[in-house]
Amino acid sequence: MKTVVGIDNGTQSTKVIFYDYENMKIVAEASAPHDLISLSADGKDDGTREQEASWWLAALKSCFAEIPDDIRKTARAVGVSGQQHGFVPVDKDGNVLHRVKLWCDTATARECEEITSDFGGDEKLLKEVGNLVLPGYTAGKILWFKNNCPDEYAKMEKILLPHDYLNFYLTGEYTMEPGDASGTALLNIKEGRWEAGLLEILDPDRDLSGCLPKLIKPGETAGKVSSKAASELGLPEGIPVSSGGGDNMMGAIGTGTVKDGFLTMSLGTSGTIYGYSDTPVIDPAGNLAAFFSSTGGWLPLLCTMNCTVASELMRELFDRDLKELNSLAEKSPIGSAGIITLPFFNGERTPNLPNGKGCLVGMTGSNVKEENILRSAMESAILGMKLGLDSFRALGFQPKEVRLIGGGAKSPLWRQIAADVLDLPVQVPVIEEAAAFGGALQALWTLEKIGGNDEDITRIIDTHVKLEESKSCMPNKESVDQYDDLYRTYNTYVAALTGLFQ
């Protein structure tokens, strides 16, 4: 048996799969949870969302310890997916200098405003670089680190993202690839190079380009599994580690979103909707992030910081399990009898409301019922991402169908809500762990390239990515019309309350 290994470093956990690529099946998998630091050093909730990088390594080792030794020895290559935008500063010896500020950290809003102003504003950023500098992206975190931790900042030798850090642990090599690197907000999307003007704004006294690892192409190797990592994880020493990528880029591979017209939507802690393009897609409104893919193209993407957050909070409030959440929400009509959730519990990235708050609006004396509140929380996850679909269509992208992943994809009700709100067919991949699977398939692509087969990754995707036909959903015309009305009302509330969040 021969396997490729997919590793996914997510916000909530690390997942590992061993994929038998000859028989096209996962033969072993494991996961381990991560904690989350959500308060600043003085105990205030200022938008801080951090993790210790050491927790990731402990979780990774725990996962591999669960895999039988004989299966670990079958590994031929490894691919790593990581939560995007996290800032991992390391010193000359590779030691991490500070807790990792995550994608959902909004404590750097002031730094983002400063960078944007010094560069010349949003319009200039979009025109010249392709992306805004938003809270959540890495650029603001670097300036925050410089301003708040000057002694540690002075020791910083490399700027890494979460998947880069795991690649470094595996190989001892420092690398980045364009997909995840584009989420730093420092990479010029039009020209594929670091934007010198932004680096100078971050530090006019130091050339930060030396702290950024070399950019390697998708399909290239980040290095080989070192003797130390091999000993600690039980992997064969010297097997290749692919370039890897951000979790959205790897999710695109794991769902087959590597061709024009296909969209992937992830219903997790955050919500994302993204589609593959052969050419750069830069949204003049700034709703879609202009990212590279990890397969050699582009991956325009909308991200919301709150997706299943609302449903989880409401489920906990009413002390309901997931089965009860779905059964109760099914009793509520489309539109939740008028109750609308604005799910900005962690602040928000799109729309850009880092100080946003969660709200329940539209309540009356007759509709305040548990089932309406629960369904409204579920509906809000999709309503928040419809903005991304509208942006895709406005830019001429012709969506054919949506591939749904994440915890929400397991819910038949949520799948139908997605089909009706987006007015598109919804498909669910057979393999649920899309990011880890994407890492494994990218590793297979790299392995084949090393073997002299320099073909496009799409053949690998067509062969290995399968869809669960029993979970597919088609939009219902009557429901589509009802959700169109609800979406307009939702946007009216967002517009009316935006001033309170700024």
Q: Give the phi and the psi of residue 332 in degrees, each rounded to 5.
A: -90, 145
Residues 106 and 203 in one domain: yes
Left, alpha or beta for 152 (phi > 0: left; psi -120 to 50: alpha)?
alpha
Task: Name the residues annotated as catalytic.
Answer: 247
- CB of 117 within 8 A of CB of 169? no
Nearest C-alpha neighbor of 17 from the set 479, 432, 481: 432
What pLDDT, on a 0 to 100 scale, did the predictor assign at position 253?
97
236 secondary structure, DSSP code: P
How many separate domains does the chain show? 3
Residues 318 and 367 in one domain: yes
- Final residue in a domain of this structure, among 211, 245, 279: 245
What pLDDT, on a 0 to 100 scale, did the predictor assign at position 42?
73
Cα separation of 467 and 255, whole Å?
9
- CB of 222 within 8 A of CB of 216? yes
Nearest C-alpha neighbor of 351 from the set 129, 134, 119: 134
Angle at 416 between CA 26 and CA 275, to 5 degrees: 65
CB atoms within 10 A of CB 342: 25
- CB of 135 within 8 A of CB of 85? no
Residues 240 and 329 in one domain: no
- CB of 271 within 8 A of CB of 384? yes
Cα separation of 181 and 214, whole Å?
11
The alpha carbon torsion through 161, 162, 167, 173 (nearest 10 deg) reads 40
pLDDT in tens, the chain (502 residues): 999 999 999 999 999 999 999 999 999 999 999 999 988 767 778 889 999 999 999 999 999 999 999 999 999 999 999 999 999 999 999 999 999 999 989 899 999 999 999 999 999 999 999 999 999 899 999 999 999 999 999 999 999 999 999 999 999 999 999 999 999 999 999 889 999 999 999 999 999 999 999 999 998 999 999 999 999 999 999 999 999 999 999 999 999 999 877 899 999 888 899 999 888 888 988 889 999 999 999 999 998 888 999 999 999 999 999 999 999 999 999 999 999 999 999 888 888 888 899 999 999 999 999 999 999 999 999 999 998 889 989 988 888 899 999 889 999 999 999 999 999 999 999 999 999 999 999 999 999 999 888 778 999 999 999 999 999 999 999 999 999 999 999 999 999 999 999 8
Q: Is the Cα torsion angle 169, 173, 179, 182 positive or negative in sign?
A: positive
Residues 360 and 409 in one domain: no
Residues 151 and 134 in one domain: yes
| Burial per residue of 472-495, b for 16 or more beta-carbon CB atoms within 10 angstroms, e otherwise | ebebeeebeebbeebbeebeeebe
In CATH, what number is assigned to the domain containing residue 56? 3.30.420.40
Encoding tokens for residue 258? 């590597």
Tell me the one-letter amino acid at 449: K
What pLDDT, on a 0 to 100 scale, did the predictor assign at position 179?
96
- Final residue in a domain of this structure, among 220, 245, 270: 245
Encoding tokens for residue 287? 């709703």
Residues 371 and 429 in one domain: no
Cα separation of 435 and 131, whole Å?
24
Cα separation of 108 and 111, whole Å?
5
Residues 50 and 164 in one domain: yes
Residues 236 and 342 in one domain: no
Dump pLDDT digits (tens) for 225-278: 999 999 999 999 999 999 999 999 999 999 999 987 789 999 988 889 999 988
Domain range for 201 is: 3-245
- Final residue in a domain of this structure, among 193, 212, 245: 245
Dump pLDDT digits (tens) for 203-233: 999 999 999 999 999 989 999 999 999 999 9
Residues 108 and 206 in one domain: yes
The label of the residue with tokens 């895709």 reads 392
Residues 74 and 99 in one domain: yes
* Percent of the chain with pLDDT strictly greater than 90: 84
Residues 115 and 186 in one domain: yes
Q: With helix as H, strand as E and coil as C, how does 150-193 read? A: HHHHHCCCEEECHHHHHHHHHHCCCEECHHHHHHHCCEECCCCE
Residues 85 and 107 in one domain: yes
What SS3 state is found at 235? Answer: coil
Distances (CA, A) of 302 to 258, 352, 379: 17, 12, 17
